[in-house]
Amino acid sequence: MDIVEKTVKDIIDLRIQGASEVRKRAVSALVESALGSKAKKPELFRKEFTKNIASLYCARPTEPELRTALRIIKRSVSEKGLTNEQMKQKIMQAAKEYEKNRKEALERISRYGAELIHSGSTIMTICHSRSVVDTLLRAKSKIKHVYCLESRPLYQGRVTANELSCAGIDTTILVDNAASTVLKKCDYFLSGADALLADGDVVNKIGTNQISILAKHFDVLHYVAASTHKFEAASFFGKAEPIEQRALDEVWDEKSTPTCTGRGKIKAINPAFDRTDSSTIGGIICEMGIFPPQVLASKLFDELELEKHEHEFLKL
């Protein structure tokens, strides 16, 4: 099994989790495979490279950040007449440049987010987001308390709680269904995003939508911290962002859970993400600043000149 096949399998089997980590490992595998390619002719190299991109692209349904990175790297070798060595150099350079831009984006997001948070704030989070964690760490001196939802069934919220607690931030973890018991004490609900959509809606860890609705009910501001790399340009052209459905055994262990005789198998749905309506989101904190969701979507449409690139964003 080569590095790309292994990475695809690890992504599918959830041994690699989190949008940023999925993107990072996928790009690393793509570059490693390209640099180690034994293809003799440029057309064979391109065929192998494109096949690897397609495999990684499809490894997880709800990952615009991964798709954005793969598109950018693929575009780096779009010029005709390149030798294998030239393509390898361009692929490596594009990956390095993308990673540099991502780090700079995360730094700016945390700075904008920390400036937003006022002194003595109590904050609720869900799941694990690098943008959210970095923002909270930068705003540490202004934070009174953070409530971390554990984010069942894979408990990524525990990772957030551990990182914040180790950094000296007063942190409490609680089950997802207990959110309403403490949300009214909070000043902010801060979440990440797996996808930013054309209408301003946000796709994130399952449970984000209901907490956002609760936050609006309690007059708690919901801010989303995410880079524009999470923006799914294809959503402007009617392409729906898929919601990944994960395995039954994450939420129901048939071997250890007793069932009624003759009732047949119990069914379960296990969506990994949900879609939060822009009307319940106070703003999106990105590397460009802080914007109302629909304003950011419109701005990105103009910045990317999407009216000229519909075909590009509706294919790999």
pLDDT digits (tens, 9 = 90+) for 75-98: 899 899 999 999 999 999 999 999
Token pair 């039954």 is found at 248
Separation of alpha carbons 232 and 49, rounded Å: 23
Q: Which domains does the chain have, with CATH numbers?
A: 3-105 (1.20.120.420), 109-244+269-313 (3.40.50.10470)
pTM of this structure: 0.88
pLDDT for 125 equals 98
Phi-psi region of 269 (alpha: psi -120 to 50; beta: other; left: phi over 0): beta
**Catalytic residue from among 134, 176, 194, 201:** 194
pLDDT above 90: residue 307: no
**Catalytic residue from among 127, 148, 186, 286:** 127
pLDDT for 262 equals 47
pLDDT for 162 equals 97
pLDDT above 70: residue 29: yes
Task: Give the mean model confidence (pLDDT) for residues 4-25.
Answer: 90
Active site residue 194: yes
pLDDT above 90: residue 306: no
Q: Residue 315 CB: number of other CB atoms within 10 A?
A: 8
> Do 53 and 316 contact (CB within 8 A), yes or no?
yes
pLDDT above 50: residue 224: yes
pLDDT above 50: residue 212: yes
> Do 285 and 223 contact (CB within 8 A), yes or no?
yes
Separation of alpha carbons 273 and 242, rounded Å: 9
Torsion angles phi and psi, residue 79, rounded to 5: -65, 135
pLDDT digits (tens, 9 = 90+) for 101-159: 999 999 999 999 999 999 999 999 999 999 999 999 999 999 999 999 999 999 999 99
Separation of alpha carbons 48 and 89, rounded Å: 16
Alpha-helical runs (H) found in the chain: 3-12, 19-35, 42-57, 64-75, 84-116, 130-138, 156-166, 179-183, 208-217, 293-303, 310-313
Q: Which of 195-209, 259-273, 291-305 has the lowest mean pLDDT?
A: 259-273
Confidence of residue 310 (pLDDT cuts 50, 70, 90): low
Count CA within 13 A, CB hemisphere, residue 203.
24
pLDDT digits (tens, 9 = 90+) for 273-286: 999 999 999 999 99
Percent of the chain with pLDDT over 70: 93
Q: Which residues pair with 225 in a beta bridge?
A: 285
